[in-house]
Amino acid sequence: MRVAAIDWGMLETLLALGIVPAAASELIQFRRIAVEPAVPRPVTDLGLRGSTNYELLRIIAPDLIVISNFYEYQRPMLERIAPVFARPVYEAGVAPYALAEAATLALGERLGRQAEARRYLDDTSGEIARLRASLPRSSARPVFIISLGDSRHFRAFGRDAMFGDVLSRLGIENAWTDETSYSAAAPVGLEALARVPEASILIVSPLPADVGRSLPTNALWNALPAVRGNRVAVLDPINHFGCLPSARRFARLAAAALAGHAS
């Protein structure tokens, strides 16, 4: 069965189930900011996620198109090409990990890969449990997971973001307790990080261009206890709206960074 993926989370999931899609969206950017799983060369790029190249997709003529609820508006167009598969993963106020598990199982079932899907679920929860056990006791501090908008603003990942959900599954308290919408809240000034003085900070890449120069001279940033206590780490890029493969990648990178803080 030839599959095309519009949504990045579903692209990850397909690759995790051992299915190489015929086509997927925005691969240039995916390889740069979602990084894994690696997308094999022959996969055709369908252009921007927000404006799929329908003509090209028509020529490729897949048997199934996987999207997510963010791309529902494309459904009428896509259904003219092939049946569309969609499961919700990100819903406001809902922790996404369990939804991602359900979506993975459903996709596995749709593609006749139930066993692989089940195994991937177990592997992922197993890896998270292993990482949780490996974290030193001293890393019991709450943690902010943020992405920097510029040298003055950040977005926090709360409990309805994949990163926030995985953090709690690692047994770590999320220092950001406010509402967020989907995975990322509106940009907040860095001073909000002072609300939880004992917290550590994990910054998810990529970093905006001006941060390298302006952040070290930012008086308030330098006064934050986490910065003075050297409890800030920059993680490699991870897909913000990912599914289980992103959850795993985040768990691994976050655990490594936090272990580094404790030592």
Near other proteins in 178-237, by CB under 8 A: 178-192, 194-195, 197-198, 206, 208-214, 217-221, 223-225, 228
Which region, judged by CB under 8 A, interacts with other proteins, from 73-81, 112-120, 125-133, 164-172? 73-81
Q: What is the residue type of 11?
A: L
Told to check if 246 binds other proteins by CB under 8 A, we report no
Q: Which of 155, 159, 169, 231 binds other proteins (CB under 8 A)?
A: 155
H or E element that contains 246: helix 244-262
Distance CA 27, CA 39 (A): 8
Least distance between other proteins and beta carbon 193 (Å): 10
Which CB, 152 or 169, lies closer to other proteins?
A: 152
Restricted to residues 12-41, the positions that interact with other proteins (CB under 8 A) are: 26, 29, 33
Told to check if 249 binds other proteins by CB under 8 A, we report no
Which CB, 58 or 130, lies closer to other proteins?
A: 58
Secondary structure letter of residue 174 according to DSSP:
B
Which region, judged by CB under 8 A, interacts with other proteins, from 69-77, 111-119, 126-134, 167-175? 69-77
Which region, judged by CB under 8 A, interacts with other proteins, from 71-79, 101-109, 119-127, 137-145? 71-79
Give the burial string for 180-193 (b: 16+ CB within 10 Å, else e): bebbbbeebebebb
Which CB, 75 or 118, lies closer to other proteins?
A: 75
Which CB, 174 or 180, lies closer to other proteins?
A: 180
Number of residues in contact with other proteins, rule: CB under 8 A?
72
Least distance between other proteins and beta carbon 132 (Å): 27
Restricted to residues 84-143, the positions that interact with other proteins (CB under 8 A) are: none
Q: Which of 153, 171, 234, 259 binds other proteins (CB under 8 A)?
A: 153
Contacts made by residues 33-42, CB under 8 angstroms, sequence distance 24+: 33/205, 33/206, 33/237, 33/239, 34/8, 34/237, 34/238, 34/239, 34/242, 34/246, 35/236, 35/237, 35/238, 35/249, 36/12, 36/245, 36/249, 37/12, 37/245, 39/11, 39/15
Least distance between other proteins and beta carbon 70 (Å): 5
Which CB, 97 or 182, lies closer to other proteins?
A: 182
C-beta separation of 7 from 211 below 8 A: no
- DSSP E strand boundaries for the chain: 3-5, 23-24, 44-45, 64-67, 84-86, 143-148, 153-156, 188-189, 200-204, 232-235
Contacts made by residues 99-102, CB under 8 angstroms, sequence distance 24+: 100/9, 100/13, 100/162, 100/243, 100/244, 100/247, 101/244
Q: Which of 2, 35, 37, 45 binds other proteins (CB under 8 A)?
A: 45
Told to check if 69 binds other proteins by CB under 8 A, we report yes
